């Protein structure tokens, strides 16, 4: 594990305790510096050619943004909108970060980022990545004139892109000790009340902060062999129950791998756990060559190649979010009618 990953893992063990630990209290002055630098970095927001919904979180790491983006894109399509998605593209190679480019279903995750590639494959809508999201938004709208709304994957603190709606995602960890980075997990202070355009969605069994919000439903999809998943053949999926009784290795390079493992076990599967760092690149396989069955996430699958699988059977298990109808209707109300372009 890289030094930065080790440091973040050490801090995270303290972030999620209800009360600040002595280590976190020691780091608290750095939180004030973080807040000052964040305020200094704010720019006057620039408006995209179409309305923008930003999906993000207030805490460091993942809380369920990507499945929320996928579910929101599908809800917008059902309501008659023609959405596109912009993203910074976390996990891209450093030399590519300045590029603004379209994500294709056969793109390399190292070129565009694993989450944007997953969103493109799951939704089929136009997806563009760029460190400057306003540049990605303008490029997407220029290339795809039919798009009439943009969903920004992450970017809640990227104030250069003006937004019409913000969806803030929390998981069961809430805000941890309530402190700003690096003494706590917060990227910005928890507001006392919500702005009119800001809505909260909980990727948890119940609200985990004092903020009012909707609770998303979540479920694992069936298991697809990697070859069928890469080929886009969802009809080849088998029920998770068919994998019961097999000695499975569960591998997850996501922000909260234990959540994935727990959901698999709740489905009756017997696992050995192998958590990986978020956005793990899989330049080499992390399991022994004679491993018979591996179960992994879609975010991991976009970085796996059939050429190096050997005899291991790779099963890809997706995660679906269900957005409560009142939440979806509220977002649609805030968006209003499509802008003329």
Query: In whole angstroms, what is the distance from residue 47 CA to residue 78 CA?
Result: 25
- Asked whether the beta carbons of 320 and 67 are under 8 A apart, the reply is yes
Pairing of strands 313-322, 293-297: parallel
The number of angstroms, rounded, from the C-alpha of 341 to the middle of its chain's C-alpha atoms is 30
The SS3 call for residue 200 is: strand
Distances (CA, A) of 277 to 96, 150, 251, 333: 21, 29, 10, 38
Domain boundaries, the chain: 52-216+323-335, 218-322
Query: In whole angstroms, what is the distance from residue 253 CA to residue 279 CA?
Result: 6
- Asked whether the beta carbons of 280 and 253 are under 8 A apart, the reply is yes
pTM: 0.92
Average pLDDT over residues 17-39: 85
Share of the chain above pLDDT 70, in %: 95
pLDDT at 143 over 60: yes
The SS3 call for residue 210 is: coil
pLDDT at 96 over 70: no
Give the pLDDT confidence score for residue 305 in this predicted structure.
85
338 — pLDDT class (breaks 50, 70, 90): low
Ordered strands of the 52-56 beta sheet: 101-103, 127-129, 83-87, 149-153, 52-56, 165-171, 198-203, 214-215
3 — pLDDT class (breaks 50, 70, 90): low
Average pLDDT over residues 282-298: 92
The number of angstroms, rounded, from the C-alpha of 11 to the middle of its chain's C-alpha atoms is 21
pLDDT at 341 over 60: no
The SS3 call for residue 173 is: coil
Give the pLDDT confidence score for residue 336 in this predicted structure.
87
pLDDT tens column, 70-79: 999 999 999 9
33 — pLDDT class (breaks 50, 70, 90): confident
DSSP string, 82-118: -EEEEE--TT--GGGTT--EEE-TT--HHHH-HHHHH
295: which 2 tokens? 């179960």
Q: 116-141: buried (b, 16+ CB within 10 Å) or exposed (e) per residue?
A: bbbbbbbbebbbbbbebbbbbbbbbb
Structural domain 52-216+323-335, CATH architecture: 3-Layer(aba) Sandwich (3.40)
Give the pLDDT confidence score for residue 260 in this predicted structure.
96
DSSP class of residue 275 equals E
pLDDT tens column, 186-241: 999 999 889 999 999 999 999 999 999 999 999 999 999 999 999 999 888 999 99
pLDDT at 274 over 60: yes
| Residue of 17 and 120 predicted with greater confidence | 120
Query: In whole angstroms, what is the distance from residue 33 CA to residue 311 CA?
Result: 52
Share of the chain above pLDDT 90, in %: 71
End-to-end CA distance of the chain: 48
Give the pLDDT confidence score for residue 339 in this predicted structure.
62
340 — pLDDT class (breaks 50, 70, 90): low
Query: In whole angstroms, what is the distance from residue 168 CA to residue 154 CA?
Result: 9
Nearest to 114 by CA among 145, 100, 93: 93
């Amino acid at each position: 594990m890289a030094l930065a990953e080790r440091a973040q893992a050490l801090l995270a063990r303290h972030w999620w305790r209800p009360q600040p630990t002595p280590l976190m209290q020691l780091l608290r002055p750095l939180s004030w510096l973080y807040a000052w630098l964040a305020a200094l970095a704010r720019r006057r927001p620039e408006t995209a050619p179409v309305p923008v919904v930003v999906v993000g979180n207030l805490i460091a790491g993942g809380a369920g943004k990507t499945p929320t983006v996928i579910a929101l894109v599908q809800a917008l399509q059902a309501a008659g909108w023609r959405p596109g998605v912009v993203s910074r593209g976390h996990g891209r190679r450093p030399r590519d970060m300045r590029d603004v480019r379209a994500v294709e279903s056969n793109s390399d995750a190292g070129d565009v980022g694993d989450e944007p590639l997953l969103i493109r494959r799951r939704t089929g809508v136009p997806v563009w990545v760029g460190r400057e999201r306003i540049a990605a938004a303008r490029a997407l709208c220029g290339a795809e004139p039919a798009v009439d709304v943009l969903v920004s994957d992450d970017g809640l603190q990227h104030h250069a892109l003006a937004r019409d709606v913000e969806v803030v995602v929390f998981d069961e960890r809430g805000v941890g000790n309530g402190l700003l980075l690096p003494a706590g997990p917060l990227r910005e202070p928890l507001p006392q009340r919500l702005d009119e355009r800001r809505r909260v969605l909980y990727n948890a069994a119940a609200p985990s902060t004092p903020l009012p919000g909707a609770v998303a439903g979540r479920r694992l999809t069936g298991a697809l062999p990697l070859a069928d998943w890469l080929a886009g053949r969802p009809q080849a999926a088998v029920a998770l129950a068919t994998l019961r009784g097999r000695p499975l290795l569960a591998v997850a390079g996501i922000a909260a791998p234990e959540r994935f493992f727990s959901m698999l076990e709740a489905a009756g599967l017997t696992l050995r756990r192998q958590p990986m760092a978020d956005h793990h690149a899989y330049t080499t396989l992390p399991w022994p060559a004679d491993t018979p069955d591996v179960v992994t996430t879609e975010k991991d699958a976009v970085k796996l190649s059939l050429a190096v699988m050997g005899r291991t059977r790779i099963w890809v298990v997706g995660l679906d979010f269900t957005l409560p109808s009142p939440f979806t209707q509220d977002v649609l109300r805030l968006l209003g009618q499509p802008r003329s372009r």
